[in-house]
Amino acid sequence: MLQQSPSTAASASSTNSTAPESLQDQIDLERLPQHVAVIMDGNGRWAEQRLFPRFQGHRNAVRAVRATVEAAVELGLANLTLYAFSTENWSRPSGEVSALMELFAEFLVKELAMMLKHDVHFRLIGDPSRLPDFVQTPLNKALAATQENRGMRLHLAVNYGGRTELVRAVRLIAEAVQRGEFQPEDIDEAVISQHTYTPDTPDPDLIIRTSGEQRISNFLTWQGVYAEFHFTPVLWPDFNKADFHCALLDFQNRQRRMGGTTPSRTVG
């Protein structure tokens, strides 16, 4: 179901002192989605509107990342995936790409304490091999330091593309067939899922996209086939906890038929 949601208005209402309860208080904690994914969009437009260099949009986006992670942890969400850098983003100007990589490394260093405090299990989805060396060290440290954590799993999609992920899965399966591990007729949806970047993670129930754009942009192409979508005009650097709560309330008001004729369940 593709739906434009009045996130800005909902966020404004959450700050009204006359409101009987906050958006967070309205969320049914018994019906949370198992997995929320976010396409973080609008950093460049945020900067351009303020006559700032584009990099300032990316730097201010870190606040939105922190707010979203904290909101998800506070609610007890099991899985959160953030789309940080796509395989197509390498085509951006080299200066912007370098600045993004530096910001990614800085984020890993500064936010590791937060992840440890909240028992967050940090994961990367995508191909890390192309990332520069100065990113590899803090990345590997964050992955190792949070490996035993049992709280929310935070997946950061970096150098990620849905089609690239599927090509990788097909190659891995073909190699397994060559080794005689199974026959072509044994290949089913479960086998394909086991060879994606998220073999032990439930498919996203909710995908949020900021900035008003309404497309998936090569994100979780296999996993997102039955996800509910929440589109908000809010640019990512302005996205806050109230916006996240608004998206969850929108999701909880949906009826998910999952291809059937009657609702299978209200939430994932």
Query: For 6-22, what is each residue's pLDDT tens digit?
Result: 444 444 444 444 444 78
For the stretch 151-209, pLDDT in tens is 999 999 999 999 999 999 999 999 999 999 999 999 999 999 999 999 999 999 999 99
Question: Helices in 118-234 by DSSP H: which ranges?
Answer: 133-145, 162-178, 189-194
Q: Which of 16, 43, 79, 89 is catalytic?
A: 89
Q: Which of 16, 25, 28, 41 is catalytic?
A: 41
For the stretch 33-57, pLDDT in tens is 999 999 999 999 999 999 999 999 9
Up-side HSE of residue 200: CA atoms within 13 Å toward CB?
2
Q: What is the band of 256 on the pLDDT scale with cuts at 50, 70, 90?
A: confident
Cβ(27)–Cβ(72) under 8 Å?
A: no
Of the candidates 203, 85, 81, the one whose C-alpha atom is nearest the C-alpha of residue 153 is 81
- Of 12-26, 68-82, 176-190, 244-258, the range with the lowest mean pLDDT is 12-26
pLDDT at 3 over 80: no
Query: What pLDDT, on the 0 to 100 scale, is given for residue 2?
Result: 44
Q: Is 41 noted as a catalytic residue in this protein? A: yes
Q: Is 89 noted as a catalytic residue in this protein? A: yes
pTM, two decimal places? 0.88
Query: What pLDDT, on the 0 to 100 scale, is given for residue 260?
Result: 64
Q: What is the band of 263 on the pLDDT scale with cuts at 50, 70, 90?
A: low
For the stretch 214-230, pLDDT in tens is 999 999 999 999 999 99
- Of 71-80, 125-134, 240-249, 257-266, the range with the lowest mean pLDDT is 257-266
Name the token pair of 65.
């990342």
Tell me the domain boundaries of the chain. 33-159+199-252
Residue 90 neighbours by CB distance under 10 Å: 11
Q: Answer yes or no: CATH 3.10.20.340 is held by domain 33-159+199-252.
A: no
Distance between CA atoms of residues 77 and 71, nearest Å: 9
Residue 244 β-bridge partners: none
Query: What pLDDT, on the 0 to 100 scale, is given for residue 9?
Result: 44
- Helix 241-252 vs helix 54-75: angle between axes, to the nearest 10 degrees? 60
Query: What pLDDT, on the 0 to 100 scale, is given for residue 255?
Result: 86
